[in-house]
Amino acid sequence: MISENLFLLLLAIAFLGAPIAALSNARPSLSTKVAFGVSSLSSLLGLVVAADVLLNGGFEVEIPLHSIFGTFSFSVDGLSAIFLLTISLVTFAVSLYSLGYVGHYKGKYPIGLMGFFFILFYASMVMVVTSSNAIMFLIMWETMSVCSYFLVIYESRERGTVGSGLFYLVMTHIGTAAITVGFILMYTQSGSFDFSSFGSAASGMSGLMRSSVFVLWLIGFGTKAGIIPLHIWLPMAHPAAPSNISALMSAVMVKTAIYMLVRCYFDFLGVQDPWWGVLVLAVGSISALLGVMYALIESDIKRMLAFSTVENMGIILIALGTAMLFQSYGLSEFAALALIAALMHVLSHALFKSLLFMGAGSVLYAAHTRNMEMLGGLAKRMPYTSLFFFIGVLSVAAIPPTAGFVSEWMIFQSMLQSFNFPDMVVKVIMPVSLGTLAITGAMAAATFLKAFGITFLARPRSEEAEQAKEVPRTMLVGMGTMAALCVLVGVLSFSILPVLDNAASPLIGASIADQLTNGLMINIDLPTGGRFSQVSPVFIAVLLAIIFPTVFLLAGRYGGRGKVVQADTWDCGTPLTSRTEYTGRGFSNPINRMFSWVYRPKREFQATARPSPYVKTDMRYTSTVVPVFERYMYDPVVAFVRWAAKKFSVIQTGSIQTYLGYIFVMLVLLLLAMRW
């Protein structure tokens, strides 16, 4: 009862706070405090509600509104609560961070408006994951898309921002169209837009109809999730948005699509055919691999992070596809394991990606550039930012015992269970997908090693990086919260996994919490009774915490306390400058060459001729990577639409009389058609 009221209070605070933030726009510091005070307050309430639902069970609040589309109500069950928790956690940290971050927009862009859309964006995400009616859901989904669109184009005077926003708006509506058609197909069967009626309706649907709805939803929600080949708005829109918004979009907005995929496939449709799972698995594998490959060669920190989001959504889809496959063969205990792994990755990705985007924002705040090749040496100038960013990097690279490690380990384990499939083809598909996931993991480590190494280590590569200062305290608090959680969620995963199981078991029909955790251990048991594998992040953390100081002490004791002398880096006699450092481009070049059949790099080398062939001055080297999907998929479509529009423009004469004539002819034709 209390959490119902708190939930309504959350929405009330958001809807009252948003206009106040907008109205106080004239006074930037006031509107900053109002906007992000309101958002942190309502996200705290969201945390309380989610925690209460996870511990004591869900609730439903009906809105007293009579509509032709059935009853509008919010319902929060275990699955909703997991996402509500994730969204609120990230929004809370980002709100604290924004208090300091928006400072540099003062006098340039209206802070009150950002606050307005920021609060509404949070509220709409909350309502998306709690809606219980298709029409109501679509309204909230649109609100979320439009709010995020306005936030993407916030820095509207920057080059390319408005274009990126438009691309985002178009793509997201293509997705919404597919989702809507899917809902309408469900409606033709169930006769109601209430989500509660969808579950029973699916069993009466024909196989073809169910499969069409499955594909439509995969396209629709996949667009929002940024799966390849529908991803191309993501690396445009996420970097264009202000960094605090990028953090929200990349860490949690894309997760709402995952929420709906889980809800729709496991709750409404039921997993019918094995090929559904195989398709999701394939799409996930491709997104993960290509996403990380493009992230690796990127020099723009925020674009790199956006591509990494594509990769991680792919990883979540791999786990989801595995769960669907197990479910379609009736192996529900393994399906539960895979779904828990997917939810764990949802949580850990939300934590580290928001942390990394906030870190990138801090770098931008302090050094005024997102280009890694202009940065360097920030670890000494921004010690706290670099430490927090480093923890995020460890988590994304799945270094034990962080959250990213636990979720990746879980996903591997659920895929290793593939020998239980009765079907040979599926058995062979799984190791291929597992190999892809392993390559993805190794490349992600390389990507983030490069990002951290080039941005924060060695010598600064520009004047701005040289002058960089640590960012304001509120920003550090926001990042520090997430950094602490990245470690804690990993270490304490033994207590988090049963909660995830609690959310997943009603959808799957099997609970594995009893087998999954035992005290401080995470166990994977075989159905026959044997122990398949186990891990204990707590013990790993404790052991690392004991061994590290021991090594330090013993090494310091043995052979006397050696002096540590500061000196130059070995330079072979020529003083080193920033130009002699290894570059990010150089770092990723071997992999670029190794996978040149994917990247299709175009290299051009020009040098002015000199009398001696050995001495060249004035050399130019350019290397570009062909964006395959833009070139071969989207460009032809755009070209076709342009061509068709030009052809049709013949009938647009611009005179009213002609248009009236068209209308008359059309009317007559329609009337005749009706007669038949």
Partner 1 sequence: MLIEVLQMLLILAIAPLVTGLIRKFKAFFQGRQGPSMLQPYRDLAKLFRKDSVVSKDTSWIFMAAPYVCMTAVITAALMVPFFTSTSANFLGDLIVVVYLFGMMRFFLALSGLDAGSSFGGMGSSREMTVSVLVEPTILLSIFTMALITGTTVLGQISESLATSGLDLVRPALFLAFAAFFISTLAENARVPVDNPATHLELTMIHEAMILEHSGKQLALMEWSSMTKLVLYMALMANIFFPWGIAIEISAVAIGIGLLAVLIKIFLFALAIAVIESSMAKMRLFRLPNLLTVSFTLSLLAVVSFYIL
CB 352 within 8 A of CB 392: yes
576 binds partner 1 (CB under 8 A): yes
Total number of residues binding partner 1 (CB under 8 A)?
84
CB 273 within 8 A of CB 321: no
CB of 521 to partner 1, least distance (A): 7
376 binds partner 1 (CB under 8 A): yes
In terms of Cβ atoms closer than 10 Å to its own Cβ (0-12, 13-18, 19+), residue 590 is: exposed
CB 240 within 8 A of CB 301: no
Compare residues 208 and 567 and give the one whose CB is closer to partner 1.
Answer: 567
Question: Could you say which of 259, 409, 494, 599 contacts partner 1 (CB under 8 A)?
Answer: 409
CB of 388 to partner 1, least distance (A): 14
77 binds partner 1 (CB under 8 A): no
CB of 615 to partner 1, least distance (A): 21
CB of 451 to partner 1, least distance (A): 11
In terms of Cβ atoms closer than 10 Å to its own Cβ (0-12, 13-18, 19+), residue 253 is: buried
652 binds partner 1 (CB under 8 A): no
Q: What backbone phi and psi angles, to 5 degrees, belong to 517? A: -125, 145
CB of 326 to partner 1, least distance (A): 17
CB of 400 to partner 1, least distance (A): 5
377-406: contacts with partner 1 (CB under 8 A) = 377, 379-380, 386, 390, 394, 397-400, 405
The neighbouring-strand residues paired with 524 are 533
Binding mask 533-572 for partner 1 (x = CB under 8 A): xxxx--xx--xx--xx--xx--xx-xxx-xxxxxxxxxx-
* 59-62 and 73-76 beta bridge pairing: antiparallel
Question: Could you say which of 105, 412, 629, 634 contacts partner 1 (CB under 8 A)?
Answer: 412
3-state secondary structure string, 414-463?
A: HHHHHHHCCCHHHHHHHHHHHHHHHHHHHHHHHHHHHHHHHHHCCCCCCH
Compare residues 453 and 506 and give the one whose CB is closer to partner 1.
Answer: 453
3-state secondary structure string, 346-369?
A: HHHHHHHHHHHHHHHHHHHHHHCC
625 binds partner 1 (CB under 8 A): no
577-596: contacts with partner 1 (CB under 8 A) = 580-582, 586-591, 593-594
107-126: contacts with partner 1 (CB under 8 A) = none
User: CA-to-CA distance for 182 and 243, rounded, in angstroms?
Assistant: 34
CB of 579 to partner 1, least distance (A): 10
In terms of Cβ atoms closer than 10 Å to its own Cβ (0-12, 13-18, 19+), residue 578 is: middle
501-540: contacts with partner 1 (CB under 8 A) = 521, 526, 530-536, 539-540
User: CA-to-CA distance for 281 and 487, rounded, in angstroms?
Assistant: 29
CB of 533 to partner 1, least distance (A): 4
Q: Which of 340, 345, 450 is nearest to 403 (CA)?
A: 345
* Token reading at 58: 């869900």
418-457: contacts with partner 1 (CB under 8 A) = 419, 424, 427-428, 431-432, 434-435, 438-439, 441-443, 445-446, 449-450, 452-454, 456-457
Compare residues 365 and 389 and give the one whose CB is closer to partner 1.
Answer: 389
User: CA-to-CA distance for 288 and 285, rounded, in angstroms?
Assistant: 5
Compare residues 424 and 672 and give the one whose CB is closer to partner 1.
Answer: 424
Compare residues 519 and 613 and give the one whose CB is closer to partner 1.
Answer: 519
CB 344 within 8 A of CB 490: no
CB of 449 to partner 1, least distance (A): 6
CB of 495 to partner 1, least distance (A): 17
